[in-house]
Amino acid sequence: MHEVKKPRKPLIYYYVIVLLVLLLFNFIFMPWAAERQVKEVGYETFMDMTADKEIDQVQIDQEENEIIFTNKDGSEIYKTGMVDDPDLTQRLYESGATFSGQIIEQASPLLTFLLSWILPILIFIGIGQYMSRKLTNRANGGPNSMIFGMGKSSAKVYVKSSEGIKFSDVAGEDEAKENLSEIVEYLHNPQKYREIGASMPKGILLVGPPGTGKTMLAKAVAGESNVPFFSMSGSEFVEMFVGMGASKVRDLFRQAKEKAPCIVFIDEIDAIGQKRDGRVGGNDEREQTLNQLLTEMDGFETNNGVIILAATNRPESLDPALTRPGRFDRRVPVELPDLKGREEILKVHAKKVKLDESVDFSVIARMASGASGAELANIVNEAALKAVRENRKYVTQSDLEESIEVVIAGYQKKNAILTDQEKKVVAYHEIGHALVAAKQTQSAPVQKITIVPRTSGALGYTMQVEEGNHYLMSQEELENKIATLTGGRAAEELVFHSASTGASNDIEQATKLARSMITRYGMSKDFDMVAMETVTNRYLGGDTSLSCSAETQAEIDRQVVELVKKQHEKAARILEENRDKLDELADYLYEKETITGEEFMKILDA
């Protein structure tokens, strides 16, 4: 998009002006003033100069008992004490000096003081006053806003341009697009809405995990409706000085109203929109900024053509005042893409790269389950980079498959050498997972297992495949998932009769799952449908906080252990029953380092 920015005079500009004034003062004015200063000399110098006729004017000051005189061209002023000298008048007359009693202008001590002290102070006070007036102007929304760039909204303005982002560039996210297309329609023809008396929401909140295309959607709305697009991040409002953020908000809205119809996009709004919890020592600047935002949103009448879009991945942390009707009253979820969405996103990004004809996006989309739009864009780019590294002219299916692993599990670690025994343990561990998964029908079969160490630290890697979209999971499926997670350790115990550190991630995941089953999904017989935990940030990792008594916590812990233990035993049983297959598959993986889902099933079914 085409970006227009107003030029802003930088801070250094003002410093340079002050410095120049000071230099001018010191190098030109002060020497001139000093020149006019009186030089004190001995009486004999006065006598010599008189004799040499080098004196122009003389003033005899009887009261002060001194003689002040100048040289011939008047550039220097001298002073000497008076002595009893009766011939003085005669000699002066002969030397041709003027001594008519005319007062020689000399720099008085007062003037010197004024020039060297008071004047600089006045200059500084003047500059200070000027700056503070500018700042106050700014805070009051005045027109001159350049000083220090403080309080000036630095919203980037995108104006309509032919290569602007359109809805077609945002793949998947059909519901969000449908929701937002109403805004586009409104911006094209606000009159239609006014006639009926319908009012558009002032603010729309785009909510979803990072990298799902919230910013893109906001830009697409502006692109589709051909209106200016003001974009600013929540954190940009928060300045060092209290009150500056608020004035930035005012400035942003003033600009927006001038350009209406237009779209204002505030990214990461949670940076300013967090709940005001009244804690002592709270963040004054943030709260003032938020208050200003609330006031501005109330201030402009509906249907004036300014639509505010905001994005966040922590909607639960937002202040209720911000989300009430009349402000951000519409919430558009922008979720992680489903299978079809992933395929479409891959296709959109693949348009930019040269592809081999054999590439099958549905397989890639299946493999990259849970990936966000941004990750999918990254996968395509990594594949293209790999093709360049290998001097090929186009991207192949295997490039894409390998890049999924790169994006999800990191690069292959070239110099990590596993000992023979370690490699065997890792092979059994990974096959343990896969075998337990395959034997429990509901669990997804594996796509590929590798035991090449990755830069992420994983020694082996099992890529599970999603057959379709899953929205609900039954208790049995969840239990099976836990069993699959414990399958790795179970295999190690069965074969080597010892445990290794390789299972730490599995343990973490299994525990998390078991805990959620008991505290959030109501899958424990003792607690019925009582929520023991609440999710605090759904889109960022899904952290939870406990809300129950200490005794209940102890009971929950006991039940979590029981649940995981039961599934661990189940996994061990499955592996024991299929010990020959376990050995065969682990040997295969140990030899080849990679086994695909098909090869796996062939050996299992043989």
Q: Which residues are catalytic?
A: 430
Beta strand 446-450 pairing with 594-596 = antiparallel
As a whole number of angstroms, the distance between CA 250 and CA 266 comes to 14
* Side-chain half-sphere CA neighbours of 476 within 13 A: 4
- Reported as type and span, the H/E element at residue 329 is strand 328-333
Count of residues near ligand ADP by CB under 6 A = 17
| Nearest-CB residue for ligand ADP | 373
Smaller CB separation from ligand ADP, 190 or 210: 210
Residue 584 buriedness (CB in 10 A; 0-12 / 13-18 / 19+): middle
Smaller CB separation from ligand ADP, 377 or 444: 377
Smallest separation (angstroms) from ligand ADP to the CB of 218: 8
The b/e string for 503-528 (b: 16+ C-beta within 10 A; e otherwise) is beebeeebbebbbbbbbeeebbeebe
Smallest separation (angstroms) from ligand ADP to the CB of 574: 39
Instruction: Name which position in 171, 227, 308, 575 contacts ligand ADP (CB under 6 A).
Output: 171
* Region 16-45 residues binding ligand ADP, contact defined as CB under 6 A: none
- Reported as type and span, the H/E element at residue 179 is helix 174-188
Smaller CB separation from ligand ADP, 213 or 245: 213
Edge-first strand listing for the sheet containing 594-596: 461-464, 446-450, 594-596
Smallest separation (angstroms) from ligand ADP to the CB of 381: 9
Instruction: Note whether 212 binds ligand ADP by CB under 6 A.
Output: yes
As a whole number of angstroms, the distance between CA 596 and CA 448 comes to 4
Smaller CB separation from ligand ADP, 46 or 167: 167
Instruction: Name which position in 263, 311, 368, 575 contacts ligand ADP (CB under 6 A).
Output: 311
As a whole number of angstroms, the distance between CA 459 and CA 430 comes to 10
Instruction: Note whether 1 binds ligand ADP by CB under 6 A.
Output: no
Instruction: Name which position in 214, 286, 330, 439 contacts ligand ADP (CB under 6 A).
Output: 214
Instruction: Name which position in 203, 213, 223, 460 contacts ligand ADP (CB under 6 A).
Output: 213
Smaller CB separation from ligand ADP, 177 or 489: 177
As a whole number of angstroms, the distance between CA 319 and CA 328 comes to 11
Smallest separation (angstroms) from ligand ADP to the CB of 495: 43
As a whole number of angstroms, the distance between CA 391 and CA 402 comes to 16
Cα angle for residues 260, 262, 266 (degrees, 5° grid): 125
Helices 397-409 and 373-389 cross at an angle (nearest 10°) of 120
* Region 320-379 residues binding ligand ADP, contact defined as CB under 6 A: 345, 348, 373-374, 377
Q: What is the distance of C-alpha 211 from the center of its chain?
A: 13
Smallest separation (angstroms) from ligand ADP to the CB of 121: 53
Smallest separation (angstroms) from ligand ADP to the CB of 216: 4
Instruction: Name which position in 215, 247, 447, 486 contacts ligand ADP (CB under 6 A).
Output: 215
As a whole number of angstroms, the distance between CA 88 and CA 493 comes to 124
450 SS3 class: strand
Binding mask 414-433 for ligand ADP (x = CB under 6 A): --------------------
Smaller CB separation from ligand ADP, 312 or 443: 312
Instruction: Note whether 173 binds ligand ADP by CB under 6 A.
Output: yes
Instruction: Name which position in 67, 77, 150, 172 contacts ligand ADP (CB under 6 A).
Output: 172
Smaller CB separation from ligand ADP, 145 or 313: 313
Smaller CB separation from ligand ADP, 164 or 487: 164
As a whole number of angstroms, the distance between CA 485 and CA 586 comes to 17
> By CB under 6 A, which span of 53-61, 171-179, 354-362, 413-421 interacts with ligand ADP?
171-179
In 3D, which of 445, 446, 440 has the Cα closest to residue 461? 446
Counting every residue written for the chain, the total comes to 606
In 3D, which of 266, 180, 181 has the Cα closest to residue 229? 266
> By CB under 6 A, which span of 209-217, 284-292, 388-396, 462-470 interacts with ligand ADP?
209-217
Residues that bind ligand ADP (CB under 6 A): 170-173, 210-216, 311, 345, 348, 373-374, 377
